[in-house]
């Protein structure tokens, strides 16, 4: 059993995203039988949900790390890294 299918060791976000991209590429070719296409689509939906959960977890970690006594300072992307502070 590979690490990607071993429930004791969850796959990385990048691995799940790569698997999703592979399934999408196969579906986009359009040369699959209906049942195979449905199977790949179903697997893809599961991978999308897995990736979304991982992104939600990462977002929560970022919020926890950046939350201060005054809350989180949000800035447009153009302001990030330019040294300005409010």
In this structure, is residue 5 part of a structural domain?
no
Total structural domains within the chain: 1
Does 41 or 59 have the greater pLDDT score?
Answer: 41
What tens digit of pLDDT does each residue of 27-55 get? 999 999 999 999 999 999 999 999 999 99
CATH of the domain at 39: 1.10.287
Write down the residue that tokens 């992307």 correspond to.
Answer: 77
Kind and range of the H or E run holding 83:
none
| Domain around 48 | 13-68
What integer is the mean pLDDT of 4-10?
A: 66
Taking CA atoms, 5 is separated from 14, 32, 54, 67, 70, in Å, by 15, 24, 16, 35, 43
Which pTM does this prediction carry? 0.68
3-state SS class at 68:
strand
């Amino acid at each position: 059993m590979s690490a990607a299918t071993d429930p004791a060791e969850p796959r990385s976000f990048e691995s799940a995203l790569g698997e999703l991209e592979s399934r999408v590429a196969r579906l986009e070719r359009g040369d699959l039988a209906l049942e195979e296409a449905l199977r790949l689509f179903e697997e893809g939906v599961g991978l999308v949900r897995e990736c979304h959960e991982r992104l939600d977890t990462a977002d929560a970690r970022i919020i926890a790390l950046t939350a201060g006594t005054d809350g989180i300072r949000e800035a447009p992307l153009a302001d990030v890294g330019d040294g300005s502070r409010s």
